[in-house]
Amino acid sequence: MDKFLVINGPNLNLLGKREPEIYGTLDLAGIESYTNKKLGDLGYNVDVEWFQSNGEQEIIEKIHAASEGSYKALIINPAAFSHTSIAILDALRVMKCPVIEVHLSNTNLREEFRKNKITAKSSSAVIEGLKEKGYFLAILSQLI
């Protein structure tokens, strides 16, 4: 069975409450359910581990642990850390599997500082602006 790790960064625990016009109305549990259902509807039997932290250190430690694992891909939404964290960028460079960066909103249509995604420099691909569909498509991209 293919294994995927999904890492979510700071403030994503507030999804559904924080700026729903930008991020949508689903919380993380809703996004997880949506993703798992869509994969199941297509007949994919995969193991998806979900993780969220507001702390940079915890995210880095999770990436370090994942680099020793046998994941088909790492899906990461670094949230605000994507614009600031060289430490997460460096940690992602250790991954042997593909890294797909996901953003719920289209960062290119937002504030100027959001257009520079430091962590994307270590990603195989970036999917953004598709809200909850981005996670599903990131995993699906590694299955087809």
Is residue 23 part of the annotated active site? The answer reads: yes
* Domain count for the chain: 1
Per-residue confidence (pLDDT) for residue 23, from 0 to 100 = 86
| Tokens (6 digits) for 56 | 């940079």
DSSP secondary structure code for residue 94 in this structure: T
**Which one of 23, 44, 64, 83 is the catalytic residue?**
23
What domain range is 37 assigned to? 3-141
* CATH code for the domain in which residue 19 is found: 3.40.50.9100
Give the Cα separation of 106 and 128 in Å (integer). 5
**Which one of 44, 83, 103, 135 is the catalytic residue?**
103
Is residue 103 part of the annotated active site? The answer reads: yes
| pLDDT by 10-residue block (mean), the chain, 144 residues | 97 92 91 97 97 98 94 97 97 97 88 82 96 97 96
Per-residue confidence (pLDDT) for residue 6, from 0 to 100 = 98
Mapped to the 3 state alphabet, what secondary structure does 34-87 carry?
A: HHHHHHHHCCCCCEEEEEECCCHHHHHHHHHHHHCCCCCEEEEECHHHHHCCHH
